[in-house]
Structure 1
Amino acid sequence: MNHLIDGNFLQKGLLNQHEKVIEFEQNIENQLIIPHIESIVEEIRKYKLAYKIFLQENDEQSLLNDLCNELIENEKEYPLLNFFNVTTINQVNTMKDFHRKLQLIPNVDKKYPMINFLIQRYHDYLNIQFLYPIVMFTNYLIEKLDYRITRKHASKKMISEILFNDSDYAIVSQLYSNFIHSWYKLKLNEIYLDSQVFKFEHSYPLEEFKHRTEIAKLLLNSSGDKQCILLLACLKTIAQLQNDIVQYFHKIMNKKHQPHAVPLQAVQEKDLLYLDKNFNSKILVDNALTINYHYGNGKDIIYDNEEIEFMLRDQICCLPLIDTERLHYLNYQFELYDRNTSLIADARQHVEQNLLPARQRDELTSLINDISNDDIFNYLGLLDYTFTYLHHFEHKHVEMLTIGKFIEKHIHFKMGINNNLIRDSILMTIYIEHIVDLYQLIEEVAFEKILRHNIEQHSSEMLVGPMNEQNNVIDQFIDMTSGKLTISSRLKDLCCWIRMLKRLLVRISMNINFILDDPLQIYVSRVDLWTVDVTTIDTDSFHIPDHIQLKHAFIILKGLETRRKYTEFRQHSNVSAQSFDSEQSSATTPI
């Protein structure tokens, strides 16, 4: 209170404005509170010294302790003792001590903005260093399992059941080890994805993680799968922590140009800010602090705040923003994504595809009809797996290989592949240029052997409406497709529509992320559902009204089959009638 009545604190006028109150508070803080706090250590030392002198202790051992603790001096008896410091730097948590002293600096946010910004969320920013191992492992999983695992399989199988069984054991073990140690070092209470907030906690001990965690939880995909949402939110939250730092740096430096950005999945170790024990050691201990060598202040540590601020800026100025929007996702096997995301479309782009000869197609149909239902789906899975390797090759490298030879030569990781299928006569005789047509042929056979009966018996959602409503849908569909005058000539034949709808129904039957109320146009406009001779120009020549939906596909298929049979019957009847008339004419002609 004596300080408050000192002339330094007198202020003319009334404190009747908010700005004057703030100015008065800052004046008290800068001239009274902070200097008083800074003097506490010295005042305590003086008090201890006065206390010792007052007691006039004669115990030599006690006297020696006081000398070592820099409480008193005796230059006659101990002339060199003032060169001895009782430092406790090895016992002090330098970050906590640094943070405590930083709070005593007036206007620290203006004097040392980067130090102040980082120290406020220091423990959050420690998590940035663990981003790289997590990204590397998830990238590897996408590369290894893209289009090669079904959603159902991924949601039931544990990590240990899918990984660690192939020839890449050494690679995956190292990547997993780096990932799991980083994952369990993360100290995040909450993570964020768009407007959603999730708690981040570990359900199992580190050693049990791979045995009790489904592989689906580590597979980033774009279908809104909730199983991987924790991983996605974690990646984006950590990336945003670095983005906040980089953006703040450019703001205080008044930089006009935008910092460069690196895609999240392409981030490298050099792109990340590392604030760990090395940061404490290198920046604080090695380069930016010293002991107070004034006798009596040996336990006091002096920090070079200007040096720390400069070193932080020097490190942050090279860091990029991390782009979390453009992500490469895993595609589950057999599932339909947007029309540009398709294994078949990708295979056609890299390896020229042709239709099977009609005779060979008939022979294959007969062979496929004789194999078991399980093997039919195993064939589809194997060909899907093969498609994922075709984008690494150009046509000139694979045109003379059969599918079987291609698999033997170029697919090294044969996870889940049945070796008997590889050596099957079908795959050993069909060339890679026919792989798409073979795949689509197997889909058509699968529909007839397996799916048609199941839909008729168990899929009431695809048998919609009374008969007159079904007929109206069929008529409208034909009017806008094969019956349309301006449609491409390739699509006027009902057979091509029938075969396409069979393939569509097979694909959606193996896919859990489709919506039956979606417009059918979205699906039938996909070129990967059509044979190789149908192009985007052909698919752009029709448009099906939005009220004709995916759930109508089976009803339309049956309607088209009925129309085709009726047309064939009429054609056969006309031929028979013409033949009968010809015979009658010959019989009545005079000789």
Structure 2
Amino acid sequence: QFSKSRKLAFFLLNRSTDNSSFEILGCIHTLAKFQNSIINFCKYITISQILHEDIERKQPAIEIQKIKKEHLLVISSEVIDTILREENGYIINYEYGKTKEVIYDYDEIETRLCNRINRIRLIDTENFNYFNYQFELYHQDVSLFNDIRRNIKQEQISTDEKVKLQQYLRNTKMDDVRQFLGSLDYVFTYFRHATGRPTTSTLKKSVKILIHNTSDLHSYILNEQYPFANIPLKYVINLYELIEELVFDEVMRNYVKQELITDVCVNEEEKENIIGQFVGSTYMLDNISQQLKDPRVWLSVLKRLIIRVITANIDLNVSMQIYIERTDLWNEDLIQYLDLIKINDNILVRHTYVILEGIEAKLKQSNNLNTDNKTNNESINIRDWCQTKTEDINRLTTLTAPEVTTIGNNKKKKLRVD
């Protein structure tokens, strides 16, 4: 009943009203401790203490947010059946009654089970950092971004102000930027319920009103010495997207899943074909709106897709269209054009990073070409200017030069001065 009525992606660590959202956290904590107890027991009875400590050093406990299927202890009928049939879990007694009676070797079964369990890493039950809201992937109507947009009308930060904020963040330690982004994650879980908040209210003022305990929040949110505390609420999502893209460029790009980098395409031809199909069905499409013809818009969306979606444990072999059409990945002023976007079904989520790099390469090539053309044009202009100046100088020289005349056979020179 619990699994049917509860979805992990819908739960947030939000104590704005009550503690009910901690229910799922308590269940995970209890199950993790129970699994750790079984693993420790099996290691205790099968491995010496010295070897056990050595294994612990080699295999640190895994964080709760990084759990995958292979980290879970699953003892099902299929597992037992595999041990019995394929791993010598039984013997045939040819002596007793001269029959082929099956005798289960319980010691062997126990050993096989313990070996399986010993390969599972312990779960860290002491440190629960936070649950990321971005993994609400069941339906965009329950997206945190869309909830905030419904309650607080959002706008875009001006270009000049955006450049200033980007410059400030680039001169800041990336650890601080990442912690700031994590604090915004937490703050946003309160903003989703913040109905009736004026859009002119600042980030700091709203946090002070909505969140009782702010001691763990980054100083960028509460300290007015920094340029973020006084940002109006109507810009918070655009601010988040700005920071998010910077974190991807400076940090996340180095930690992209291997499944998105290696063996994504069979060969270079398939890779170029995938990139070409995506480009042709997006910003190079004839009937696409002018706002979506800028490749930088698509680069931003692909980066958000990698950070918010692909970092979760999702199936990478599904159509990218499923996620590209989600309104919470787009700026609010572009949502009205999403119906025009139809990406081919053979372009999958696992192609995201390959496409991102392909568009970046095309954009860089285009910029270099424009730079070369600009340089050539400037060279031509300079050459024409120099030629014109040379002609003017020659003409003036001709007009002002002294005239030389010859008188008789004496060839005496007479200078005429104007």
Q: TM-score, normalised by structure 2?
A: 0.59
Write the distance in 1 (CA, Å) between the matches of 2:348 and 2:255: 20
Give, as a single letter, the amino acid of the residue that structure 2 aligns with 1:428.
Answer: A
Instruction: Tell me the alpha carbon deviations over residues 377-427 of structure 1, each in whole angstroms, 9 at most, x when there is no partner.
Output: 4333322333333344456x322221122101222355x832635324243
Percent identity reads 25
TM superposition shift of 1:344? 0.9
Give, as a single letter, the amino acid of the residue that structure 2 aligns with 1:539.
Answer: L
Name the residue aligned to 1:573: 372
Instruction: Give the 3-state SS of the residue equivalent to 1:334 in structure 2.
Output: helix
- Which one of the candidate residues 250, 263, 269 is aligned to 1:468? 269
Name the residue aligned to 2:292: 491
Moved more, 340-349 or 541-550: 340-349
Do the aligned residues in 1 keep the contact of 2:14 with 2:21 (CA within 8 Å)?
A: no
Matches within 5 A, 1:160-559: 333-337=133-137, 338-394=139-195, 397-412=197-212, 414=214, 417-418=216-217, 420-424=219-223, 425-455=226-256, 459-463=258-262, 464-465=264-265, 466-512=267-313, 514-535=314-335, 537-559=336-358
Give ranges in structure 2 of 5+ residues lacking alignment.
34-63, 73-130, 393-418
Change (3 A) 1:154 1:533: farther
Matches within 5 A, 1:140-159: 144=15, 157=29
TM superposition shift of 1:440? 0.6
Do the aligned residues in 1 keep the contact of 2:282 with 2:341 (CA within 8 Å)?
A: yes
Do the aligned residues in 1 keep the contact of 2:203 with 2:233 (CA within 8 Å)?
A: yes
Give, as a single letter, the amino acid of the residue that structure 1 aligns with 2:272.
Answer: N
TM superposition shift of 1:539? 1.2
Do the aligned residues in 2 keep the contact of 1:151 with 1:332 (CA within 8 Å)?
A: no
TM superposition shift of 1:359? 2.3
TM superposition shift of 1:441? 0.9
Give ranges in structure 1 of 5+ residues lacking alignment.
1-130, 162-215, 217-223, 228-330
Give, as a single letter, the amino acid of the residue that structure 1 aligns with 2:165.
Answer: L
TM superposition shift of 1:494? 0.5
Give, as a single letter, the amino acid of the residue that structure 2 aligns with 1:523.
Answer: Y
Instruction: Tell me the alpha carbon deviations over residues 315-373 of structure 1, each in whole angstroms, 9 at most, x when there is no partner.
Output: xxxxxxxxxxxxxxxx9622141222211111112211111122221222233334444
Do the aligned residues in 2 keep the contact of 1:335 with 1:507 (CA within 8 Å)?
A: yes
Do the aligned residues in 1 keep the contact of 2:220 with 2:229 (CA within 8 Å)?
A: no
Moved more, 549-558 or 581-590: 581-590
Indicate yes or no: 2:349 matched with 1:560.
no
Write the distance in 1 (CA, Å) between the matches of 2:342 and 2:22: 32
Do the aligned residues in 2 keep the contact of 1:517 with 1:551 (CA within 8 Å)?
A: yes
Do the aligned residues in 2 keep the contact of 1:501 with 1:553 (CA within 8 Å)?
A: yes
Do the aligned residues in 2 keep the contact of 1:151 with 1:333 (CA within 8 Å)?
A: no
Write the distance in 2 (CA, Å) between the matches of 1:504 and 1:526: 10
TM superposition shift of 1:482? 0.5
Write the distance in 2 (CA, Å) between the matches of 1:440 and 1:140: 22
Write the distance in 2 (CA, Å) between the matches of 1:546 and 1:562: 24
TM superposition shift of 1:467? 1.8
Name the residue aligned to 1:584: 383
Give, as a single letter, the amino acid of the residue that structure 1 aligns with 2:228.
Answer: L
Give, as a single letter, the amino acid of the residue that structure 1 aligns with 2:284.
Answer: G
Change (3 A) 1:462 1:370: same
Give, as a single letter, the amino acid of the residue that structure 2 aligns with 1:570.
Answer: L
Change (3 A) 1:332 1:460: closer
Give, as a single letter, the amino acid of the residue that structure 2 aligns with 1:554.
Answer: Y
Q: How many residues align?
A: 282
Compute the RMSD of aligned alpha carbons. Answer: 3.7
Write the distance in 1 (CA, Å) between the matches of 2:376 and 2:278: 32
Do the aligned residues in 2 keep the contact of 1:149 with 1:333 (CA within 8 Å)?
A: no
Change (3 A) 1:153 1:504: farther
Instruction: Give the 3-state SS of the residue equivalent to 2:155 in structure 1.
Output: coil
TM superposition shift of 1:585? 2.4
TM superposition shift of 1:540? 1.1
